[in-house]
Chain A
């Protein structure tokens, strides 16, 4: 039941792109007119029924929506508490939730008459999804990827190339996701006329955080209906992993005004949040600042320089987080927790053996939080995990760790 809160948590952002104090449009003047144009195009598209119909048709026939809600029976029995459900975004075409956003944005790019697509990627999931929609719509595609990530996510690099994308390895900084995003922004500043920047997470300057959230919110909307049929009522607890936080906000947003639903976001705790620059938990181990066009929680040193952070998962290895998550943290509505590399690896293996599912290392962070919560919950209660991606891309990383650990 939706509670009649006077102050709904679902009304953001403001016309200026703020979620409370977070968000905004902190970009160079060169990009401001483009962002304004993008916002206008997005508002028009949303008011055009044919845009919604096209989105839905592609979602159904190309992505494979709705994604199943799966009762993880053996995992539930093993943990001996709450019933555990997986919202199986990893079964989407391309293997993650990322395609939901890419389809929405590529349709928008086409409406705007843009003829060249650029994107950043960390683990390569967003890069693959972007390369996929570019192939589907016949648009040239340039993917910026940190050189370190190019190395540790080789299978996804090959997939992107097969899909016809040009991969640009970025060597600046530590060669990870933030450096790729800097480089994509530079490309955009230099090619303003024909280029559309397809941001992969619910972060960046307004309207990206709102737009990406809207495209990913299909996850939560489907879940509400599916859960009602499966169990009646609402889930007791939702869990998702947070890098930039797009799968998480997609899962959470629908339920923000249902106070009886507890919500957890699992950040990358790396070696532990007490280790200097050894994690990527921007909310539990960082403080607010301004980067990549928005005010949000950031990993930064005492002088406001951005830290690279660390996570075993390339998709969570980002020093910021979407501004709406920062708002939800400060409002207390969502509980954000750090999950270490080791906890995520343990969850990865447990899921493989108990459920026959290899989760992405990103999603395994969420699962690790489920593993912590479930045993203390009642058998009548339920937890839903957003299983945001599949783990095929991570088998090499996990294999290396297991060799090293044995």
Chain B
């Protein structure tokens, strides 16, 4: 079935547009695939839209997540310890798509596991599974020929990270092959750190929006519904990852296994974040 191939790129745009029409930012939620085990992770993913997530970022576990903090590193380690593979990550998307053909799914991770899978095979399998976009942390625009351009050609969005260190010279180059949305990293730091100044973030978002028509989502440092409200004032979307991963981690038993509380812990926080984004423009 190839219906995803045509509809996939537009799903992201459609969702940002729908949120804009509701005069609120989109809620983008991140979970790590296979954390803490495949079945629980699938249940968490399947329940995200119902809890209020507008877009889903699914982390592809990697042994050496250099740009992530310890929470997301541990999530990846939990998944890998169960024998989680790239094929299993794509399988999760396929299963999700059996029930949900509407919510955009973006795979986020590092390049080596893709390279190892085979770039062309990965793109084909991701499209077939119903993936909408990719965020590959360690592929700056300098390496676009390598994977970004083939991904665009395959019909996937290639979402770019911009950071406070992205200067006026780099910004247009970063945005050149960007698609789907722009992910503004609110700080120079790793995932899980704290935002110090919301106004600075707002100015940064304005600067990016002056250069692109794409929606701008802000991530790094958003932990609560109130954070989502504050950041959402300035952005087309808010991305929450570490806080959800922490909620999951706190629900595990002493051996790090899922409990009955695991999926609800994540979904409850998503619900509270969803309320937060709905207060953003009040």
Contacts and interface: CB of A to CB of B under 8 A. Distances in A.
A304 B116 contact: yes
- At the interface, is chain A mostly helix, strand, loop or mixed? mixed
B161 interface: yes
Interface stretch (B8-16, B42-50, B65-73, B232-240): B65-73
B200 interface: no
A185 B66 contact: yes
Nearest to B189: A190
A151 B65 CA distance: 24
Contact of B142 (A25, A185, A186): A25
B100 interface: no
Interface in A300-339: 300, 302-306
Contacts of B70: 172
Contacts of B160: 29
Given A29-B160, A30-B165, A302-B116, A290 B67 contact: no
Contacts of A300: 112, 116
Interface in A360-389: none
Contacts of B69: 186
Contacts of B110: 290
B207 interface: no
A32 B185 contact: no
Interface string A31-65: 11110000000000000000000000000000000
A28 B67 contact: yes
B117 A304 contact: yes
Contacts of B140: 25-29, 32
Contact of B190 (A189, A290, A291): A189
A172 B65 CA distance: 11
Contacts of A302: 116
Contacts of A159: none
Contact of A290 (B138, B142, B193): B138
Interface in B52-91: 61-67, 69-70, 73, 80, 85-86
A33 B167 contact: yes
A190 B113 contact: no
Given A28-B66, A178-B64, A189-B190, A34 B138 contact: no
Interface in B170-217: 170, 174, 185, 188-190, 193
A172 B151 CA distance: 32
Interface string A185-227: 1100111110000000000000000000000000000000000
B67 A30 contact: yes
Contacts of B166: 29, 32-33
Given A182-B64, A304-B116, A33 B170 contact: yes
A29 B174 contact: yes
B188 A30 contact: yes
Interface in A270-324: 289-293, 298, 300, 302-306
A244 interface: no
Contact of B138 (A178, A191, A293): A293
B241 to A, nearest CB: 15
Interface residues of B, number: 42
B282 interface: no
Contact of A189 (B64, B67, B111): B67
Nearest to B117: A304
Contacts of B162: 29
A28 B138 contact: yes
A228 B5 CA distance: 66
Contacts of B115: 289-290, 304
B139 A173 contact: no
A32 to B, nearest CB: 5
A24 interface: yes
B170 A32 contact: yes
A302 B87 CA distance: 12
A303 B116 contact: yes
Contacts of B111: 26, 290
A25 B190 contact: no
Most central of B63, B65, B113, B185 by chain A CB within 10 Å? B63
A403 interface: no
Interface string B116-140: 1100000000000000000001111
A23 B69 CA distance: 26
A192 B166 CA distance: 12
A244 to B, nearest CB: 15
B247 interface: no
Contacts of A298: 112
Given A29-B162, A34-B165, A303-B116, A291 B64 contact: yes
Contacts of A28: 66-67, 137-138, 140, 161, 163
A290 B165 contact: no
A32 B111 CA distance: 16
Contacts of B113: 303-305
A88 to B, nearest CB: 36
A130 to B, nearest CB: 20
B152 interface: no
Given A300-B116, A302-B116, A292 B193 contact: no
Contacts of A32: 140, 142, 165-166, 170
B6 to A, nearest CB: 30
A206 B11 CA distance: 37
Contacts of A172: 70, 73
B142 A305 contact: no
A173 B63 CA distance: 8
A305 B80 contact: yes
A189 B167 contact: no
A295 B114 CA distance: 13
A24 B161 contact: no
B143 interface: yes
A193 B163 CA distance: 13
A182 B66 contact: yes
A243 B86 CA distance: 29
Most central of A26, A31, A300, A302 by chain B CB within 10 Å? A26
7 contacts: A24-B142, A26-B111, A189-B189, A192-B188, A291-B64, A291-B112, A306-B112
Across the A-B interface, give the 4 residue pairs with the lowest CB-CB distance, nearest first. A304-B116, A304-B113, A190-B189, A305-B63
